[in-house]
Structure 1
Amino acid sequence: MAWTKYQLFLAGLMLTTGSINTLSAKWADMFSAPGCYGTKDHNFSHPFVQAVGMFLGELSCLVVFHILLCHDRRRPEPSMEPGQSFNPLLFLPPALCDMLGTSIMYVALNMTSASSFQMLRGAVIIFTGLLSVAFLGRRLQPSQWIGILVTILGLVVVGLADFVNGHGDDSHKLSEVITGDLLIIMAQIIVSVQMVLEEKFVYKHNVHPLKAVGTEGFFGFVILSLLLIPMFYIPVGSFADNPRQVLEDALDAFCQIGHKPLIMLALLGNTVSIAFFNFAGISVTKEISATTRMVLDSLRTLVIWVVSLALGWEKFQGLQILGFIILLVGTALYNGLHKPLMDKLPCFPREQTAEEGDAPERERLLGGGKTTQES
């Protein structure tokens, strides 16, 4: 069935905003400007400030939810389901995981390339699968176990590409690249814990996904904003890339933004894109399918890699292409995107098709849970 213009618009919006989110965060990292205290030009290395901006974008989803709800209630026949009332503190544990995982990933993005950052985030299916078996009692299909193994292979290839490229990369030392890659994978463990917590305690409540995203964004924005105060006084020595060598120097970040306003444009791109990405993701699941959403989520990795090459942010690496293809295959196997093809072969027994598998996924994403976030 041919897509409508609105469906094409939603797919394009999700792909575009998902790509802009990572690219804008990396763009901010590449700026250099004077800071406070009369310091000379230095890199904009403020991952926790960037994370606060990301949570502000998530928080805006709560505003969008109430605007849409008010607009819907003015119609003769309201169609929007607001969901049941719930205790907002239910979202505090996953919000804390989101806050920690996002902050670690922004630290890692300072150390490695945007394409590797996006590719290595595919590790989340490994830990989500294992934790869902351990804590949710889920039984993974053989194809999902194979998908996890293939994903591990893809991560090894991407890591190897970074190791090879690290020797000739002027922007990042080899040690930084390896550390950044390891931090990204470590962050995926935290993100997988977040997903399991959401599924165990949140999805059983009929919470609209925009409201869920906005509530977690509220907790993340408030808590991390308050934590910027003690971070300003915590010395971490050479581990910090700011003049005072503290965990986070928010004042220095604002001074750098004042000296180079383009940094603010990059941060705004990150904040706005996360809001539109969450909205587009929900709409794609509702208007098209959860399978399409998974495919678009994988395609944005390719977009980020192509744009990074075009802008000269990184060098071409054949191993990266191989790693991306392997990760794509692993993701497809884990999410069951191969089933329609396998069902057509007479030698294989019929399994649940990808579109049939969309039913519980669609219900989970639309009626009781948080969208897949871009951090």
Structure 2
Amino acid sequence: MASKALIPFLVGMMLLTGVCNTLFTKYQDNQCVRNCDDPDPKNRKTFEQPVLQTAQMFVGEVGCWLVVGVMAAWQKYKSRSSPKADGYQAVDTDNANDDNDDDAASINSAHPLVEPAKRRAGPDGLLRGFGILLLALPAICDILGTTLVNAGLFMVAASIYQMTRGALVLFVGLFSVVFLQRKLHLFQWVSLVGVVTGVALVGLAGVIWPDPKGALKQAIAAGDDDAASVDALRAALGVVLIAGAQIFTATQFVLEEFLLERSSIDAIEVVGWEGLFGLAVTLICMLVLHVAVGRTDAGRYGMFDMVEGFRQMTEYRAVWVSSLLTMVSIGGFNFFGLSVTRSVSATARSTIDSCRTLFIWVVSLGLGWESFKGLQVVGFALLVYFTFLFNGVVQPPFKFLQPREEVEELLPEEPIEHN
């Protein structure tokens, strides 16, 4: 638990690293990597490698092991610097077994996510021994969800991408009811309808007034009507991909909650393990897709051409520098986000994350990556309000919507977000 003086720093760093995650990735998408000197802007190609961007996210998650190692080294140093008085202590052999049982119980009870009935399974619960392989399941969901949102990001503006991800609340709520047997109150069902309405308005704004990038922007400026139609279709497809990806992310959240409730493993270690499993599966899939698709004439220079992707990432300074910065910001976002959850609450973290969307929007407007859209403002306002209402940050506006009993949390106390 961090001191009160440290909490503003943790909140600020969570916001900073969270904003950087999206902005660095969008900056990467805007970089020209082929035919950059071609006089026809439609022939210029930007960096569009969502699979490689998924791999770089997992590298950032693997970096969480550095934090775990530093924390372990610090605890070891502290234990050495304060040894027991006189070195030895007497041991009551008659009660040794009872003492061991009490120690195990105290370890389990110290973790707030472990239900009392399940703490007797041991300090690691389901995630002990080979059971740690269960974390490959949420990692695979993370691969699918992250790859889809990365693909959608280079089709829409950064703020629309972030706002569309608000559909996650809908799927988490529904999946919690179906698979975790949670109960939704009337005001939460109303909130879900409001979230869907907000996301729909944000997506509609992106389709009606798309923000073309690079070559498409120049083509549209030159009066190419076909380019304008293509950009509108790309924006619509991007919104669908990002919204659909939230199904996999919600599945990931539900799986993580199920596993965390039945184990006492630290959440930052879960991020590290998922990073290892996710990186391994992603690299294997990249190799298979490169052989099956990337080497063909139709797949050459596409997102499954691994050789071309690594060439683009290594030859262009803006791409590999933004990759390094993204890896660092992802690791930092998870660390500071978990610290905020422990020091304040999971609801506070989700509220702060909504502020991240606002900052991304403001920065994108300032950089000229997108234009101001009134409909997007309305959608964002609805999205934020109903997300706050769903999480209990604001009270239901009408008495008949107010719950008559205590509202059960739908997310774990330490929600694990990766991007």
Q: Give the TM-score band, short-chain normalised.
A: 0.7 to 0.9
* Partner of residue 212 from structure 1, selected from 254, 270, 273: 270
Structure 1 partner of 2:312: 256
- Secondary structure (helix, strand or coil) at the match of 1:65 reads helix
Distance 1:26 1:106, change over 3 A: same
Which amino acid is 2:192 matched to?
A: I
Larger Rg: 2
Which amino acid is 1:33 matched to?
A: V
Matched, 1:365 2:413: yes
Where do 5+ consecutive residues of structure 1 fail to align? none
Q: 1: distance between equivalents of 2:325 and 2:211?
A: 32
Q: Quote the offset at 1:292 in angstroms.
A: 2.0
Matched, 1:333 2:377: no
Matched, 1:231 2:289: yes
Q: 2: distance between equivalents of 1:112 and 1:30?
A: 11
- Secondary structure (helix, strand or coil) at the match of 1:152 reads helix
- Secondary structure (helix, strand or coil) at the match of 1:88 reads helix
Q: 1: distance between equivalents of 2:69 and 2:156?
A: 38
Q: 2: distance between equivalents of 1:348 and 1:124?
A: 23
Q: Quote the offset at 1:25 in angstroms.
A: 0.5
Q: Quote the offset at 1:66 in angstroms.
A: 2.5
Structure 2 partner of 1:27: 27
Structure 2 partner of 1:221: 279
Distance 1:180 1:208, change over 3 A: same
Matched, 1:60 2:104: no
Structure 1 partner of 2:114: none
Q: Is the 8 A contact 1:57 1:275 kept in 2?
A: yes
Misfit runs of 4+, over 4 Å:
80-83, 167-172, 347-353
1:101-128, CA deviations, whole angstroms, 9 ceiling, x for partnerless residues?
A: 1111111111111111100001011111
Which amino acid is 1:186 matched to?
A: G
Distance 1:167 1:7, change over 3 A: closer
For residues 57-136 of structure 1, the aligned pairs below 5 Å read 57-76=60-79, 84=124, 86=128, 87-136=131-180
Structure 2 partner of 1:296: 352
Aligned residues: 355
Q: Quote the offset at 1:234 in angstroms.
A: 3.5
Which amino acid is 1:181 matched to?
A: V
Q: Is the 8 A contact 1:34 1:259 kept in 2?
A: no
Q: Is the 8 A contact 1:101 1:190 kept in 2?
A: yes
- Secondary structure (helix, strand or coil) at the match of 1:206 reads coil
Q: 2: distance between equivalents of 1:254 and 1:121?
A: 28
Structure 1 partner of 2:119: none
Q: Quote the offset at 1:167 in angstroms.
A: 8.5
Q: 2: distance between equivalents of 1:255 and 1:99?
A: 22
Q: Is the 8 A contact 2:211 2:371 kept in 1?
A: no
Where do 5+ consecutive residues of structure 2 fail to align? 36-42, 84-106, 112-122, 218-229
Distance 1:166 1:5, change over 3 A: same
Distance 1:348 1:161, change over 3 A: closer
Q: Quote the offset at 1:237 in angstroms.
A: 11
* Partner of residue 324 from structure 2, selected from 268, 285, 290: 268
* Partner of residue 151 from structure 1, selected from 195, 200, 206: 195
Q: Is the 8 A contact 2:156 2:211 kept in 1?
A: no
- Secondary structure (helix, strand or coil) at the match of 2:6 reads helix
Q: 2: distance between equivalents of 1:7 and 1:202?
A: 25
Q: Is the 8 A contact 1:31 1:263 kept in 2?
A: yes
Report % sequence identity: 35
Structure 2 partner of 1:7: 7
Distance 1:205 1:352, change over 3 A: same
